Amino acid sequence: MSRHLLKRTLKYLTLGGLGTGSGYFLYKNDWEVSTIGVVRFGRAAFTALWIVADYKIHLRGIDYESPEYEKVKSEIHCRSALRLRELCCSNGGGFIKVGQHLGSLEYLLPMEYVETMKVLHNQAPQTPVTELFKVLEEDLGQKVQDMFVQIDPEPLGAASLAQVHKATLKDGTVVAVKIQHPKVKKHSFVDIKTMEIPKIYWDLSSERVLTMEFCEGGKVDNREYMKQHKISVDEVSRDLGKLYSEMIFVHGYVHCDPHPGNVLVNKTADGNTEIVLLDHGIYQSLTDEFRVNYCKLWTSLIKADLEGIKKYSTAMNAGDMYPLFACMLTARSWKAISSGIDKQQYTKSEDDEIKSNAATYLIQISEILNRVPRQLLLILKTNDVLRSIEYALQTRASSTSFINMSRCCIRAVAMDSERKCNTWTGWLQIRLATQWQLFKIDIYEFFLWVQTSSVVRFMSRKNNVIAL
């Protein structure tokens, strides 16, 4: 018995010694326990178990169709969303990116989650300005007061990797200074014409500090701001869709973090609407083969070409699950896809069906995400964020977005065919066929415009009669 006790004592002393020694080593080397991968993983696992237990315990025995069930479920949604947000803030880095993404999925997640996580778009955990001053001085080699007349201590926005402060240079120029959180490097060891790019002040920028032109504007999902500044919501939605269609289908180089905190809209001096894309930290380069197949897949989806959908979904490794894959890409039901997503209006019943199926097919969705090319994963995330912006602007699934997408797909496929063509006559044939396809789209767009204009004129005339 005493021998067994001695073994246990030696075991605990050894473990205790290792723990104490490791803790001392981390302390002396300026590490924080919260940045260690196993600690962050453990925290995430505990939070997940806590959330699952909350649902199981408090919904047990309540009638699924009763008002009490909905009330209790909403309360659990709120508690669980808060726990998730606390987890994201505690773990930082990529966890905040995940939280920001969850805050953009209005069309998929319960609103309790969306509203709770949405604050991470601009209100991620903040670093005290005194700590940021150290980063500035370390990287730029000057005292803060020698570089700036003033730096607003309140950040304009704080995100997962950095936060932005409004500042004034010595010559009176107002700038935005983006400074990396001091702990980002430590986390990284574990986590490893409608667009304007702001001017960079390179002499006041470094690996961890970014000083750039201050861009005026409101968040892209702020309808009230657009109303106040007489900015067309439809125009913003159309231009943003056109911008991303060009990046994805034509150029194959895509900004993959377009959450509302990273996209501003404003009215220029000449009265045009301008979209300003911020935070160029996450880009995805697409191979030509992937890009062209993706163009052909979307062309098939828009045309309701079921054979084409199957063929190009298979090229993306979706296999027999191509109907579910098509639903994931379009965020539409298979019935709507089969009938033509550019013709079928998005309805409340379809929305309810999609949200219900998202949970039912979770395992299959995970399998598809494991199968598809890695370059598609960030595109899917980007599509989700863009749809959430459309949802907020109430312009979701408009015909205009499909028209712009079709134009880009046709151009991209034609460019690829021209590159592979070896004869002048073949090149001419491709060019004529492309122009004919684009002309048909122009005619279709004009037809839609005439229809809309007629309705508008009729409604205006009706309102005038009522006023009289």
Environment class of 240 (CB within 10 Å of its CB; exposed 0-12, middle 13-18, buried 19+): buried
Distance CA 395, CA 389 (A): 9
Q: Which CATH architecture has domain 129-213?
A: 2-Layer Sandwich (3.30)
The neighbouring-strand residues paired with 174 are 168
Distance CA 54, CA 97 (A): 25
Q: What is residue 406's three-state secondary structure?
A: helix
Is it the case that residue 74 has pLDDT exceeding 80? yes
Residue 123 per-residue DSSP state: B
Query: How does pLDDT run across 419-464, given as a tens digit for each residue?
Result: 888 888 888 888 888 888 888 777 776 766 665 554 444 444 444 3
User: Which residues participate in catalysis according to the annotation?
Assistant: 257
* Contact status, residue 106 vs residue 115, Cβ threshold 8 Å: no
Residues 6+ apart with CB under 8 A from 199: 212, 213
Question: Average pLDDT in the 346-362 region?
Answer: 74
* Contact status, residue 379 vs residue 254, Cβ threshold 8 Å: yes
Query: How does pLDDT run across 169-187, given as a tens digit for each residue?
Result: 999 999 999 998 877 666 5
The per-residue pLDDT of the chain, averaged, comes to 78
* Contact status, residue 39 vs residue 90, Cβ threshold 8 Å: no
Read off φ and ψ for residue 135, nearest 5 degrees.
Answer: -65, -45
* Contact status, residue 267 vs residue 274, Cβ threshold 8 Å: yes
Please state, as a whole number, how many other Cβ atoms lie within 10 Å of the Cβ of residue 88. Answer: 26
Task: Please name which of 217, 115, 114 lies closest in space to residue 157, comparing C-alpha atoms.
Answer: 217
pTM of the model: 0.57
Least confident of 117-126, 287-296, 384-393: 117-126
Task: Please name which of 229, 255, 251 lies closest in space to residue 240, comparing C-alpha atoms.
Answer: 255
Read off φ and ψ for residue 173, nearest 5 degrees.
Answer: -70, 130
Domain ranges of the chain: 32-121, 129-213, 219-420
* Contact status, residue 393 vs residue 237, Cβ threshold 8 Å: yes
Residue 206 per-residue DSSP state: -
Distance CA 229, CA 267 (A): 7
